[in-house]
Structures are given as C-alpha cells and as structure tokens.
Amino acid sequence: MKTLVEISTNVYPEPLRTYAMRDEKDGVIYYKWCEQRTPDEKESLYELILDTKSGKATVKRAGSIKSEMEFKAGEETLGGIYTFYGLIPVKIITEYLNMPSAVSDTFEMCYRLNSGENELVKNTFSLKRLLQNDKC
C-alpha cells in the first residue's frame, strides 16, 4: 500500500515527506521509498524492514552509494557502506529502537556508526506515517 511518510534524521536539517510502499506480513513491516534530498544528490532507493517480533530493524540502500545495516537495541552489529572508493565496514552500536505499535505507528532508533577508531556518525532516525491528505 502506498502511504505518506515523514523521515527525520540528524544528517539533514529538515524532515523529508515522501510516499513509500508499505507492506506487513507475519509481524514484519516493509517500507520502500526513493530519496533525493538535494538537486546535486543522485536518487537512492531505501528499504526498511522492521521485525516487530525480534525487535530488529534492517536498512538497505541502493544507488550510487549502497549499504546494508542491521540494528538491534543494546547490541553491536556489523554493516557495510559501498562507495566509489570501495567497501567501508562499519560497527553499529544501537542505543534504542522504538517499533511501531497499536499506540504509535512511528518507528524511531538512535545509533552510532564506527569505522576503525573513527566514529562516523551518531544519528537518530525516525519514520512516521502521515495522513494521506497532508494539507490539514
């Protein structure tokens, strides 16, 4: 089902409102959307997979920069960012994940990415479903 979402991240100053495809099956929620934040950026395709049973989130990015990262609250996981210069392996430290529920349809997580001894980024990411008519 096509749904309007608002995506917020510390990487960009303003949230992005866009349409995403949403599907849900056996306790797993799938979102897919295209993102191009600036005219200079190339478009990327994102897929967010939320396993509400295990409390695990997976983010996949396709485009000029590719990545696949897995997030689980309180755990360290490994991921990779594929750039023009090759693979950058990253350690992901997930501080928290708030999965969508009957109370709130918003997904939010806070994490840090480390590559070697350098902390690349600390980020809070959220995806919130909006009313289809966002002019209210």
Amino acid at 64: S
**pLDDT score at 133:** 58
Q: Please provide the distance, in angstroms rounded to a whole number, between the alpha carbons at the two ends of the chain.
A: 21
80 in Cβ contact with 67 (< 8 Å): yes
> Using CA of residue 111, residue 5, residue 11, residue 30, what is the dihedral sign?
positive
Which CATH fold would you assign to the domain 2-129? Lipocalin (2.40.128)
Residue pointed to by tokens 């990253």: 90
Of 120, 111, 62, 61, nearest to 90 (Cα)? Answer: 120
Name the pTM for this structure.
Answer: 0.88
Residue 57 pairs in a beta bridge with: 50, 71
pLDDT tens column, 56-84: 999 999 988 899 999 999 999 999 989 88
Least confidently predicted of 3-17, 33-47, 89-103, 111-125: 111-125
Amino acid at 84: F
12 in Cβ contact with 29 (< 8 Å): no
Confidence class of residue 129 from pLDDT cuts 50, 70 and 90? very high
Average pLDDT over residues 33-51: 90
